[in-house]
Chain A
Amino acid sequence: MTADTLAAPRSSVPRKKGVNLEKWGWIYMRVSGVLLVVLIFGHLYFNLLLGDGIHGINWGFVAGKLADPFWQWWDILLLWLALIHGANGMRTIVNDYVTGQTARRVLIWALWVAAGLLILLGTLVVFAFDPCNGVTSDSIFWEQCQNLPAPRI
């Protein structure tokens, strides 16, 4: 198909009935985008600008954050909203540049599989994280682990 054979803009195209997924995708990008500005700016401010900045980030820092339901939900929202926003953006780019029907289907399928697996992994990490799991008394983290607040799930 070349540009010559494309219908002129605004010519009426019969549309399938039912849910207009492209419209909801368009709305999702805008709603999640606004939320992500707040969530990511807060994430960067708390993790990189406060305290020792990046030098303060270690296992104990993350374990402490994920023991707090406030940061659990902050990170879960970030994870779901950002991955779906990113995967849908990548889908738009694939649709724009990949002209082969099979390659396009495979790439978009791979995008959603990757996003789905990482959402699953991230959700497990946030909600099923036991900071003391596997830390024995000979670990240098033993003492740090003992002082952590108990995870409230």
Chain B
Amino acid sequence: MSAPSRVTPSVAQTTSRTPRGTLYRGNEGMWSWVLHRITGVAIFFFLLVHILDTALIRVAPEAYDAVMSTYKNPIMGIGETFLVAAIVYHAFNGLRIIAVDLWPWATRHQRQLWWTVLVVWLVTVGGFAARHLPIVFSNIGGH
């Protein structure tokens, strides 16, 4: 037991520009966390809007359909693809976080699991976009 217990770096070290082996210095662990936050905030604000727009079904059919028609605009269609990309990342990385928390093997392989998340994310979003974008760009201005 001669080795010192975990060394806590001084403030000068942790705030320096040069990485010194502290946590969150640009490795997978940091970027998975940054993306989880950004996608989470984006999904939260969409959720607030989405509940309000769906509530319009109680106002009038015409009011609901008028707002829905804006979601069918091609620019919004691209935005929806980004939203789904954010949701799918948050979903798969969230499952990875649960695995890392509960399963020692996953804790040791959290880095590889993050790259796995990215591959599965790419395939899922690619599949979604291949179906959604043609729908959006066909029938522009239609019902």
> Which chain A residues have a beta carbon within 8 Å of chain B's beta carbons?
2-4, 8-9, 30, 33-34, 36-37, 40-41, 44, 48-49, 52-55, 57-60, 62-63, 66, 79, 82-83, 86-87, 89-90, 93, 114, 118, 121-122, 124-125, 129, 131, 133-135, 139-141
Contact = CB atoms under 8 A, between A and B. Distances in A.
B41 A133 contact: no
Interface residues of B, number: 43
Interface string B50-64: 011011011011101
Contact of A49 (B8, B131, B136): B131
Contact of B44 (A30, A90, A129): A90
6 contacts: A44-B84, A48-B84, A53-B136, A62-B64, A79-B51, A139-B62
B47 interface: yes
B11 A3 contact: yes
A4 B14 CA distance: 12
Given A3-B14, A49-B128, A37 B58 contact: no
A57 B37 CA distance: 30
A114 B51 CA distance: 12
Query: Which 6 pairs of residues, A with B, have the shortest CB-CB distance?
Result: A53-B135, A59-B61, A86-B44, A141-B61, A59-B64, A37-B91
A12 to B, nearest CB: 14
Given A53-B136, A79-B51, A118-B48, 6 more contacts: A40-B91, A44-B84, A48-B80, A59-B61, A62-B64, A86-B40
Contacts of A87: 44
A38 to B, nearest CB: 10
Contacts of A37: 91, 94-95
B71 interface: yes
A54 B98 contact: no
Interface centre among B6, B55, B101, B128 (most CB of A within 10 A): B55
Which secondary structure dominates chain B's binding surface?
helix
Interface of B: 6, 8, 11, 14, 37, 40-41, 43-44, 47-48, 51-52, 54-55, 57-58, 60-62, 64-65, 68, 71-72, 77, 80, 84, 87, 91, 94-95, 97-98, 101, 128, 131-132, 135-136, 139, 142-143
B62 to A, nearest CB: 8
A86 B139 CA distance: 34
A4 B9 CA distance: 10
